[in-house]
Chain A
């Protein structure tokens, strides 16, 4: 009861202030934004972050849209025109969500990385943590996936996916410096994407089907890497043997 009265008081005050002076804030000198990666614009500041964060809580009711951003802006006391902080509406909100989710994953995972002796286990844990960031929005996520799949948004979606994949490998301790850098990241991106889409449709208790799916995808990835390395080793041995045979016959100088 008290809270509702307080809420109404705040609302009244907000409306009254709006009628006296506009609350459109100008962008301050750009503070480095909290996640270094952002698809279009790297100069989000605290105001924008506040608005977008509140907008994320409205996604469940209003979906991924500029309506959610406008509503959030209004609730914080800014003009509803401040949805300009998300100039492309839905895609900016989704992009912000992905930045936030990755940041949260890094922070959460940081303490426990040393507990995993095996890189694959560590990577699966990081992947699980990141998927759990999407869980609160899982009912609305198919909408977001559809928006990300639109042709004009595909470059941004790709950038986010490769960034995510790269970041997860770094957290798991990857130090590759050759072409396997690319192989690993594309494999992980495929695993993550398929699991996220599976999670949207998963109705099992506690999402245990999703975690089982993820575990199987990781086993597939490990198997693929094992087969790949064995093939390369076989090729190396074969060519070395061939060279030695030719050298012993005198066809190549040794």
Chain B
């Protein structure tokens, strides 16, 4: 007769070694248990199905969002970078570099938590480039409006995520919470920079703002699920 007890003890030993092989670079994830491997009860983080699917969704949509952010700034730079305004170019370059760092953080989380990346990730990259280029073609102020709208929506989005994540009191999730908080803070800095550069003076400001903010909302909804 199959001895379940023996198997559980065997599982604990090897599951711990399994985790250390793949989470060795992340001290906070040494005890994380992947949902598809043997679940270990003692001394390890065990997430319920709902909690794990929530974290999956968050990381998936964050990666797609950061991809889109990088390509929005690339699109804007492609159109506005050659206008001869060095200050604007350096501002766009600075914001793009920060977004690249965010994307690297989210990629690392995808590998750590074994999250399925969204299949819309290339779509996000291309769509972001088109959005950035189009808004830049309408003028510098419209480009700033686009940035302001996207960053407002992203700020709301990250705050919602943090609110839900803080309900989970596991210390192993601290790194994830800190990185999302850092991304949120820098996105809000971009928001302020965009407002300072005249985003609210753009023509048809309200229309552009609400349109882009709504589009971001739809994209977030899709990337969470697909």
Contact of B14 among A42, A110, A253 (CB under 8 A): A110
Q: How far is the CA of A99 from the CA of B61 in the complex (A)?
A: 29
> Which residue from chain B places its CB closest to the CB of A35 in the assembled complex?
B38
* Distance of B35 from chain A, by nearest CB (Å): 4
Q: How far is the CA of A114 from the CA of B18 in the complex (A)?
A: 11
- A36 contacts B117, C-beta separation under 8 Å: no
Residues in chain A near residue B111, CB distance under 8 A: 175, 177
Determine if A106 and B18 form an interchain contact, defined as CB atoms under 8 angstroms apart. Answer: yes
Residue of A nearest to B107 (CB): A177
- Of B15, B22, B82, B117, the residue contacting A170 (CB under 8 A) is B22
CA distance A230 to B36 in the complex (A): 34
In the complex, the chain A residue whose C-beta lies closest to that of B109 is A177
For residue B167, CB closer than 8 A to chain A, the reply is: no
Contact status A34-B11, CB under 8 Å? yes
Interface size on A, residues (CB 8 A): 35
Question: Contacts of A102 on B, CB cut-off 8 Å?
Answer: 36
Query: Are A107 and B10 in contact (CB-based, < 8 A)?
Result: yes
Q: Are B2 and A53 in contact (CB under 8 A)?
A: yes
Secondary structure at chain A's binding surface: helix, strand, loop or mixed? helix
A4 / chain B contacts, CB cutoff of 8 Å = none
Of A13-21, A127-135, A144-152, A178-186, the segment with at least 4 beta carbons within 8 Å of chain B is A178-186
Chain A residues with CB under 8 Å of B2's CB are: 49-50, 53-54, 57
The yes or no answer to A225 lying at the interface (CB within 8 A) is no
Known contacts A107-B11, A253-B82, A167 near B36 by CB under 8 Å: yes
Q: Is the CB of B18 within 8 A of A110?
A: yes
- Determine which of B35, B38, B49 lies in contact with A103 in the assembled complex, contact meaning CB atoms within 8 Å: B38
Please state if A49 and B4 are interface contacts (CB–CB under 8 Å). Answer: yes
The answer on a CB contact under 8 Å between A166 and B82 is: no
Residues in A neighbouring B116, C-beta threshold 8 A = 166, 181
Q: Count the A-B residue pairs with Cβ separation under 8 angstroms: how many?
A: 86
A42 contacts which chain B residues (CB < 8 A)?
Answer: 49
Asked if A178 and B35 make an inter-chain contact with CB atoms under 8 angstroms apart, the answer reads no
Scan B1-43; emit 1 where CB is below 8 A from any A CB, else 0. Answer: 1101001101100110110011000000000011111110100
Q: Give the residues in chain A near B114, CB-CB below 8 Å.
A: 166, 170
Over the window 89-109 of chain A, the binary record of Cβ atoms lying under 8 Å from chain B Cβ atoms (1 yes, 0 no) is 000000000000011001100
Assess whether B119 is interfacial by the CB under 8 Å rule.
Answer: yes
Instruction: Give CA–CA (A33, B8) in the complex, Å.
Output: 11
A179 touches B38 (CB 8 A): no
User: Beyond A37-B36, A166-B116, A177-B111: 18 further Cβ-contacts under 8 Å?
Assistant: A36-B34, A36-B38, A49-B2, A50-B4, A53-B2, A54-B1, A102-B36, A106-B14, A106-B18, A107-B11, A107-B15, A107-B38, A110-B18, A113-B21, A177-B117, A181-B116, A182-B119, A253-B82
**Listed A/B pairs (16) with beta-carbon separation below 8 Å:** A36-B36, A49-B4, A53-B4, A54-B1, A106-B15, A107-B14, A107-B15, A107-B38, A110-B21, A111-B14, A170-B114, A177-B63, A177-B110, A177-B111, A177-B117, A181-B116
Interface residues in chain A, defined as those with a beta carbon under 8 Å from any beta carbon in chain B: 32-37, 42, 46, 49-50, 53-54, 57, 76, 102-103, 106-107, 110-111, 113-114, 163, 166-167, 170-171, 173, 175, 177-179, 181-182, 253
